[in-house]
Structure 1
Amino acid sequence: MPGIDECLLQAMRLPGAIGAAVVDWTSGLALGTIGDSPNNDHEATAAETAELARMAAEHPAFAPEEPAPGDEAAARDLPVEDVIVTTRTGYHILRFVETTFDSSVFLHLWLDRDEGNLALARLRLGDLAERLVLA
């Protein structure tokens, strides 16, 4: 099971990967980064993507139906698996990491639009998010 550094290295092996980060969407802090960032500032990018992730995770429009009483697992599940933003030159994928505790972490992958494969990247990020060990 990979830690943050190994997870980021594996993300960068995806075709078209430009940069990646593990971000806490509550604080906006980057827990780890690799490669480039869109504005050449990993910390600013982490804070900006955290705003988008927080909005998606907490917005009532994306919330599932109310969990049944006593269903603690459903009550803590995030309503969103990932967020994809498409720009003229690239893709940004924010993949939420589900944990046994109250997780507020996501993986951010920045892909080149011409070289990247959005479907493959989404599947691989899902796999990485499932196996990521946060210590």
Structure 2
Amino acid sequence: MQKLQDSLVEALSIDGALGVALGDWKTGMCLGYKGTNSPTFPEANLELAVAGNTEVIRAKMRAAESLGFTDRIEEILIILETQYHLMYLLRNIPGLFFYLALDREKGNLALARIKLAQIEKKLTL
């Protein structure tokens, strides 16, 4: 089992990672974050990113409910010209999500998704 800070450090080691945070989409709280202080994505933006993306997740949950979806939302992806912003909703700890900002040129989205799933399995709070 792995503590939160260790999980964030491991997630930040994903190729192309600019920043990672663990958020609670029900409250909007950021539980922890780590960043590279990249000029394109300052570490200080991670708490704000969690708060803003909490609204994205809530909106998607409302839309899924109104459409009668029975499947669980696993991930939400926002694609920018130079970055991927991935919200990975945890299975083992409902209400929490990893937020990962990834450089499109340096990162591999498929491998990042696999790595976040592996990190989640080890995470304890």
- Using the size of structure 1 for normalisation, the TM-score is 0.79
In 2, distance between residues paired with 1:21 and 1:122? 14
- Residue segments in structure 2 that go unaligned for 5+ positions in a row: none
**What does residue range 1-135 of structure 1 map to in structure 2 within 5 Å?**
1-35=1-35, 36=37, 38=41, 40-59=44-63, 60=65, 61=67, 63-64=69-70, 79-99=72-92, 103-134=94-125
- Residue segments in structure 1 that go unaligned for 5+ positions in a row: 66-78
- 1:42 deviation in Å? 2.6
- 1:62 deviation in Å? 7.1
| Residue identity (%) | 31
- 1:57 deviation in Å? 3.2
1:24–1:105 Cα contact (<8 Å) kept: yes
For structure 1, which segment, 115-124 or 47-56, has the greater mean C-alpha deviation from structure 2 after superposition? 47-56
Cα 1:129–1:54 shift into 2, 3 Å: farther
Dislocated runs of 4+, deviation >3 Å: 36-40
In 2, distance between residues paired with 1:15 and 1:62? 37
2:21–2:100 Cα contact (<8 Å) kept: yes
- 1:53 deviation in Å? 1.7
Aligned residue pairs total 119
Larger CA Rg, structure 1 vs 2: 1
Cα 1:85–1:62 shift into 2, 3 Å: farther
